[in-house]
């Protein structure tokens, strides 16, 4: 644990270095504990750092209790073009895209609910999406067996060049249709 009088600029540089090496699993509370700074004092510093990075090629994202680096969506085309010249990035299959769509528009959702919609087993697709960090477990459903609930990640949204799930095409309209269908099915089961 580092304990010192805070030089805010130096602290921001240290946080950036930690994020660069640490990936997506850096918790704000761990940074707070390490530097001996209360979370309520650290959060404004993190948001200041995020603001400073906003126009650069690397941005800072804050999600729930985690903080991590992401590429600036405005440079997505350049990144794709650069890596296409080296090797063609692995495209997502139609089945994978369908599964991602189901998760994005229905989240949080269980694997069995996804399989019910798709009509096929999705074990390998779920595993692939988790390893690519496009989806994550966000909890357990309060039902028999307490199955995992899945949601899409900020990395997936960044892949699409959007910041929020409600920016997906026809999001509100599709959400309302899903809710009407769910209501009809539940009413029919009573």
* pLDDT tens string 97-128: 999 999 999 999 999 999 998 899 999 999 99
Higher pLDDT, 12 or 5: 12
What domains are there in the chain, each with its CATH number?
Answer: 8-74 (1.10.10.10), 90-188 (1.10.10.10)
- Rounded to whole angstroms, the Cα distance separating 140 from 108 reads 9
Taken as a whole, the chain contains a residue count of 190
- Rounded to whole angstroms, the Cα distance separating 109 from 122 reads 13
Mean pLDDT of the chain: 85
Neighbours of 54 (CB within 10 A): 11
Which pLDDT score, from 0 to 100, does residue 92 have? Answer: 82
pLDDT of 48-90, one tens digit each?
Answer: 999 999 899 999 988 778 888 888 888 888 887 787 665 544 6
Helices 94-106 and 123-131 sit at what angle, rounded to 10 degrees?
80
pLDDT at 14 over 90: yes
Which pLDDT score, from 0 to 100, does residue 83 have? Answer: 73
Q: Say which range, 36-40, 70-74, 131-135, 180-184, has the weakest mean pLDDT.
A: 180-184
Which pLDDT score, from 0 to 100, does residue 8 have? Answer: 92
Which pLDDT score, from 0 to 100, does residue 148 have? Answer: 96
Strands 148-152 and 66-71: unpaired
Q: The tokens of 61 are what?
A: 């994202």
**Which run of H or of E encompasses 76?**
helix 76-86
pLDDT at 189 over 70: no
């Amino acid at each position: 644990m580092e304990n010192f009088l805070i030089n805010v600029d130096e602290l921001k540089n240290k946080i950036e270095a930690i994020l660069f090496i640490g990936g997506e699993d850096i918790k704000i509370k761990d940074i707070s504990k390490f530097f001996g700074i209360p979370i309520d004092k650290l959060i404004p510093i993190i948001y200041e750092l995020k603001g400073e990075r906003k126009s650069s090629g690397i941005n800072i994202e804050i999600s729930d209790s985690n903080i991590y680096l992401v590429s600036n969506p405005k440079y997505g085309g350049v990144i794709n073009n650069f890596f296409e010249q080296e090797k063609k990035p692995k495209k997502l299959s139609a089945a994978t895209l369908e599964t991602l769509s189901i998760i994005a528009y229905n989240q949080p959702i269980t694997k069995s609910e996804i399989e019910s919609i798709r009509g096929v087993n999705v074990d390998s697709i779920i595993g692939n999406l988790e390893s690519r960090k496009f989806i994550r477990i966000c909890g357990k459903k309060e039902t028999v067996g307490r199955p995992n609930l899945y949601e899409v990640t900020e990395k997936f949204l960044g892949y699409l060049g959007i910041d929020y799930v409600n920016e997906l095409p026809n999001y509100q309209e599709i959400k309302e249709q899903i809710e009407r269908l769910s209501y009809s099915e539940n009413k029919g089961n009573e």
